[in-house]
């Protein structure tokens, strides 16, 4: 599945994202040194909440022009649309629509959903990794 590179819309938002990522890493290390699993989880949840809210606000307008996809015989893509909307990624949503072409009409609904979920998780982890490497300036070394 193809997706566009992760880019920041402005230098200020990139610096804010970088600061949140560095604070989250520092919080995870500090809580890990103290042996506080709950502190580590709270730090992780706070960083994830910020990321989801920022993506939703920054990229929500991308979904205004997207029409509902045509019905597929085995799976209903409308269940994936709210998730992609909160992730703020029209590229992930369009990738899922493209992956629906790979699902044959003779496959079962459970197999089609499993295939789409597997594809979604792979894409999410790749985008999270790419975003973190970009924010920490490590993408230049790869």
pLDDT score at 125: 87
pLDDT for 15 beyond 60: yes
Closest CA to 139 of 33, 21, 7: 7
Enumerate residues 6+ apart whose C-beta is below 8 A from 30.
Answer: 39
- From CA 90, how far away is CA 81, in angstroms rounded? 9
Higher pLDDT, 8 or 53: 53
Residue 104's pLDDT band (cuts 50, 70, 90) = low
**Main-chain dihedrals φ then ψ at residue 119, nearest 5 degrees:** -65, -40
pLDDT score at 95: 78
Beta strands in 74-117 (DSSP E): none
pLDDT score at 115: 81
Q: State the distance between the two ends of the chain, measured CA to CA, in whole angstroms.
A: 20
pLDDT for 5 beyond 80: no
In the chain, the percentage of residues whose pLDDT exceeds 70 is 85
Enumerate residues 6+ apart whose C-beta is below 8 A from 139.
Answer: 130, 133
For the segment 125-136, what is each residue's pLDDT rounded down to a tens digit? 888 888 888 888
Handedness of CA 103, 109, 115, 119 (dihedral sign): positive
pLDDT score at 36: 94
Higher pLDDT, 9 or 39: 39
pLDDT score at 134: 87
For the segment 62-92, what is each residue's pLDDT rounded down to a tens digit? 777 777 777 767 777 777 777 777 777 787 7
pLDDT mean across residues, the chain: 79
Prediction pTM value? 0.66
């Amino acid at each position: 599945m193809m997706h566009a590179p992760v880019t920041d819309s402005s230098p200020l938002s990139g610096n804010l994202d970088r600061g949140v990522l560095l604070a989250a890493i520092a919080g995870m290390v500090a809580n890990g040194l103290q042996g506080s699993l709950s502190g580590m989880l709270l730090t992780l949840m706070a960083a994830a909440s910020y990321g989801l809210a920022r993506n939703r606000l920054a990229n929500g307008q991308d979904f205004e022009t997207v029409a509902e996809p045509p019905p597929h015989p085995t799976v209903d893509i409308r269940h994936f649309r709210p998730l992609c909307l909160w992730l703020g990624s029209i590229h992930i949503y369009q990738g899922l629509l493209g992956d629906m072409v790979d699902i044959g009409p003779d496959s079962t609904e459970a197999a089609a959903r499993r295939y789409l979920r597997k594809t979604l998780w792979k894409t999410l982890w790749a985008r999270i990794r790419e975003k973190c490497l970009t924010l920490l300036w490590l993408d230049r070394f790869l």
